Amino acid sequence: MPTSVQIPNPKFYYPTPLTALMTEECIAPGLSERDKFDRAKKIGWLDIDAINSARVLMVGAGAIGNEVAKNLVLSGFRDITVVDMDRVENSNLARCLFFSDEDVSSGRMKAEIVASGLMKLDGNVSAKASVGKIQEQRDGFFRNFDIVLGCLDNVLARLYVNAQCCHNRIPYIDGAMDGFRGKVQVIIPPDTPCLECGMNRSHGRIAEQRFSCTGNSISLYLPKIGAEITTTSIIGALQVREAVKVISGKQGNCIKNAVYYDGMKNSLEVLEIDRNPDCPNHLE
Ligand SMILES: [Zn+2]
């Protein structure tokens, strides 16, 4: 004879307060789940409306650029212009979310792939691609933007973007990396030191060499530096985190000078940069 099984009183397992919470609203997606940026809006100071409408310029669509682009859209930025002059190569594929083997074989341009990838990621995004050097953009180009993110791999282009941002008083967030190390600097003209203020003499010599050999463009062969995706991700994330703060009106909480990341020492350190009184970017 099977013994009868006593079914326990469900109230024993689900006391009244919890049972009361188990309404249809609790088990079905509520309003908060229907809002894509609900979790961001729970961060009190974060201004998602300002982020949605900010006009962003991304200079460089390589490894850091891919990470920055992805983070921008997932953070709510919707108006993004991508400038890059290169085609995708096989050596890019290990660090770039938006690039594929097919892009390499078809010789597609990085800026165009990233821009179209961003619009697939979010249908509300308007992303434009500009193929070419940043130095060749039309006069007044920078005045179309509220913030600029530098994802570049050469000093000259960085200095050019920095100077344009200083001149037009546009916040500029520069990212750089070398192997397991990386750096992020936030420039908010006219208040902070700029990229040129923080550059040393060796940077200057590199720039001079390139100018003296070519007149006005880069033609020297530059050895490629080591790079891997985890450092790229960290630097790209720091840049977009700073962009979120700037656009939300939290400039006071931004990186004051430059932050250096070292993935082998597990460190994130602030390097103080003084404003150089001779820097041409601060002359009124
Ligand atoms: Zn300066």
Q: What is the 3-state secondary structure of 96-157?
A: CCCCCHHHHHCCCEHHHHHHHHHHHHCCCCEEEEEECCHHHCCCCHHHHCCEEEECCCCHHH
In this prediction the pTM is: 0.84
Distance 71 CA to ligand 1 centre (A): 28
Percent with pLDDT over 70 in the chain = 81
Distance 279 CA to ligand 1 centre (A): 5
Note the pLDDT tens digit of each residue in 130-147. Answer: 999 999 999 999 999 999
Alpha-helical runs (H) found in the chain: 10-13, 16-21, 24-27, 31-34, 38-41, 48-53, 63-75, 101-105, 110-121, 155-168, 201-214, 229-247
Rounded distance between C-alpha atoms, residue 140 and residue 168, angstroms: 9
Q: Which pLDDT does position 148 carry in this prediction?
A: 98
Q: Is the pLDDT of residue 213 over 60?
A: no
Q: Is the bond into 190 cis (omega within 30 degrees of 0)?
A: yes
Classify strands 79-84 and 55-59 as parallel, antiparallel or unpaired.
parallel
Distance 190 CA to ligand 1 centre (A): 9
Which of 66 and 283 is assigned the larger pLDDT? Answer: 66
Distance 268 CA to ligand 1 centre (A): 23
Q: Which whole number is the average pLDDT over 73-95?
A: 95
Distance 147 CA to ligand 1 centre (A): 18
Distance 259 CA to ligand 1 centre (A): 17
Distance 194 CA to ligand 1 centre (A): 4
Topology classification of domain 36-275? Rossmann fold (3.40.50)
| Nearest CA among 155, 189, 160 for reference residue 172 | 189
Domain boundaries, the chain: 36-275
Distance 214 CA to ligand 1 centre (A): 25
Distance 184 CA to ligand 1 centre (A): 16
Note the pLDDT tens digit of each residue in 237-259. Answer: 999 999 999 999 999 999 988 99
